[in-house]
Amino acid sequence: MNNLLDLKIEGATLIGREGRWAIAIQNGLITGIAPTFATAARQTLNADGKLVIPGLVDPHLHLDKALLLEAYPAKQGTFQEALKETFNLKRSFTIEDIQTRASRVLDSEIAFGTTAIRSHVEVDPILQLTSLNALLPLKQAYAERLTLQLAVFAQEGITNQPGTEALLREAMSLGGDVIGSAPYTDSDPEKNIQIIFDIAQDFDCDVDFHLDFLDDDAPLLLPVVVRETVRRGWQSRVCLGHMTRLAGLDPTELKAMAAMLADADISVLALPASDLYMMARKDTHNVRRGIAPIQQLADRGVNSAIATNNIQNLFTPFGDGDLLKICTLVAQILQLGTTASHEACLAMVTTKAAQAIGIRNRGIESGKAADLVILDAKSASEAIGAAPPSRTTIKNGRIVSQTVLQRHFF
Ligand SMILES: [Zn+2]
């Protein structure tokens, strides 16, 4: 029985195909999609008409500052409080504390169907390498269930925090996968961007910025990042989170920015759970939504995706690590109601999100990774509309999690 499959999924509903399908899996890869397979398998799953999509990918998540509300519930609920008190809380982070909170989030994400995450890892003179030392062992411990990318991240600025650049370089040499920063927190944002690209070139790694986030009148930093991306040949290796300022551009300006992004092959992530909560706090009425117009960007050829960002901390006192619920939020905010737009939303938390963080082998096709999730839904619209709780998560062709909703009526 040389051809024995590792896993066979039968009765699957697939987006873009009529009828029910079987998926053959061997050695961690999808090896075929057909109405049925005669070949035997070590394990067979009957999807019973449920929707099978590529495993969810969360391309922007802060594990080290997740679940902080127990330690500090919001008293004012303002952006200033979030900045000040999160900064204070960071002083008390320990490796064990970060690992405990991060593990809870990772378990939750896996149960919801996530098979890959890019987590930001704060590196600065206060925390030094504590976050990295907490998350590197988790990356190994979870490797069979989840691909965890660690983005070494300067949250507090670089030029205004002496010693940060050396720490960032040390973190990269210790095992960071990606380098990034939040240039708007730096007194010299352009220099901050230059330093990040210098490190990226030295370590041959991808770049990840929190960019054009604050709703102030400062000039957009996007043209600077585009210029550096092209100058250094870093096309397809740069991912930008937030980009809320794009929501405030008129159609002509947005078109110009989209063309720059598409030409430089830069990905954009909407982080609606945080942005909707934090943005436009000075608006007294008709409060702006301030979510990156990712559907319009996608229509103009920009790789656009959706991510969680924060879970239950002062910047985002909500969330459970379920990307489908974030999709629901995006669809509501951006007023996406068609079947096609819901299918596009699902791509933004699967294949497009994977592409944004440099993972190319995702999709329901032969030869792609057998990272899949079975959802208790019949269509993309139902998956986004209801975020069904019952899910089966498959990583590298192995079932790693099953959640079954039980309801009792009396
Ligand atoms: Zn973030």
pLDDT tens by residue, 324-363: 999 999 999 999 999 999 999 999 999 999 999 999 999 9
The answer to whether residues 121 and 234 belong to one domain is yes
CA of 318 to the centre of ligand 1 (A): 14
The answer to whether residues 379 and 344 belong to one domain is no
For 154, the token pair is 């300067």
Whether 97 maps to a domain, the answer reads yes
Cα separation, 232 vs 214, whole angstroms: 27
pTM, 2 dp: 0.97
- pLDDT category, 375, cuts 50, 70, 90? very high
Residue 323 has pLDDT above 60, yes or no: yes
CA of 309 to the centre of ligand 1 (A): 5
Q: Hey, is 244 helix, strand or coil?
A: helix
Residue 3 has pLDDT above 80, yes or no: no
The answer to whether residues 141 and 47 belong to one domain is no
Residues 6+ positions from 48 with CB-CB distance below 8 Å: 11
CA of 210 to the centre of ligand 1 (A): 6
CB–CB of 229/199 below 8 Å? no
CA of 117 to the centre of ligand 1 (A): 13
The answer to whether residues 335 and 264 belong to one domain is yes
pLDDT value of position 218? 84
CA of 169 to the centre of ligand 1 (A): 20
User: Out of 92-101, 145-154, 278-287, 380-389, which region has the weakest mean confidence (pLDDT)?
Assistant: 278-287
Average pLDDT along the chain: 96
Count of domains observed in the chain: 2
Please report, for residues 67, 216, 356, the alpha-carbon distance to residue 360 in angstroms, rounded to integers and kept in the order given: 31, 36, 9
Cα separation, 154 vs 373, whole angstroms: 33
CB–CB of 208/239 below 8 Å? yes
For 239, the token pair is 């991912």
Question: Which of 264, 257, 263, 259 is CA-nearest to residue 238?
Answer: 264
Whether 230 maps to a domain, the answer reads yes
CA of 316 to the centre of ligand 1 (A): 11
Cα separation, 85 vs 321, whole angstroms: 23
The answer to whether residues 44 and 65 belong to one domain is no
CB–CB of 82/314 below 8 Å? yes
- Region 23-47: mean pLDDT is 96
Dihedral (CA of 300, 264, 63, 146) sign: positive
CA of 377 to the centre of ligand 1 (A): 30
- Region 43-52: mean pLDDT is 97
CB–CB of 51/88 below 8 Å? no
- Region 278-286: mean pLDDT is 90
CA of 20 to the centre of ligand 1 (A): 39
CA of 315 to the centre of ligand 1 (A): 10
- Region 289-298: mean pLDDT is 94
Q: In the chain, how many H helices and how many E strands?
A: 13, 16
pLDDT value of position 215? 78
The answer to whether residues 352 and 376 belong to one domain is no
CA of 183 to the centre of ligand 1 (A): 12
Whether 409 maps to a domain, the answer reads no
CA of 182 to the centre of ligand 1 (A): 8
Whether 408 maps to a domain, the answer reads no
- pLDDT category, 2, cuts 50, 70, 90? low
CA of 61 to the centre of ligand 1 (A): 6
- pLDDT category, 214, cuts 50, 70, 90? confident
CA of 310 to the centre of ligand 1 (A): 7
CA of 82 to the centre of ligand 1 (A): 13
**Own/partner pairs, 331-337, CB within 8 angstroms, 24+ separation:** 331/384, 333/272, 333/276, 333/289, 333/291, 334/291, 334/293, 334/294, 334/295, 336/295
Which domain does 352 fall in, by range?
Answer: 56-356
How many CA atoms lie within 13 Å of 184's alpha carbon, on the beta-carbon side?
20
CA of 185 to the centre of ligand 1 (A): 13
The answer to whether residues 127 and 242 belong to one domain is yes
CA of 9 to the centre of ligand 1 (A): 36
CA of 308 to the centre of ligand 1 (A): 9
Q: Are strands 391-395 and 372-375 parallel, antiparallel or unpaired?
A: antiparallel
The answer to whether residues 325 and 211 belong to one domain is yes
CA of 341 to the centre of ligand 1 (A): 25
212: domain CATH number is 3.20.20.140
- pLDDT category, 1, cuts 50, 70, 90? very low
CA of 376 to the centre of ligand 1 (A): 30
pLDDT value of position 117? 98
Q: Hey, is 290 helix, strand or coil?
A: coil
CB–CB of 178/205 below 8 Å? yes
Whether 189 maps to a domain, the answer reads yes
> Rg of the chain's alpha carbons, rounded to an integer?
21
CA of 48 to the centre of ligand 1 (A): 38
Residue that finishes a domain, picked among 320, 335, 356: 356
CA of 274 to the centre of ligand 1 (A): 9
396: domain CATH number is 2.30.40.10
The answer to whether residues 16 and 105 belong to one domain is no
Cα separation, 270 vs 326, whole angstroms: 10
CA of 28 to the centre of ligand 1 (A): 31
CA of 268 to the centre of ligand 1 (A): 13
The answer to whether residues 250 and 202 belong to one domain is yes
Whether 410 maps to a domain, the answer reads no
CA of 356 to the centre of ligand 1 (A): 15
The answer to whether residues 65 and 113 belong to one domain is yes
82-133 residue pLDDT tens: 989 998 999 999 999 999 999 999 999 999 999 999 999 999 998 999 999 9
The answer to whether residues 239 and 319 belong to one domain is yes
CA of 60 to the centre of ligand 1 (A): 6
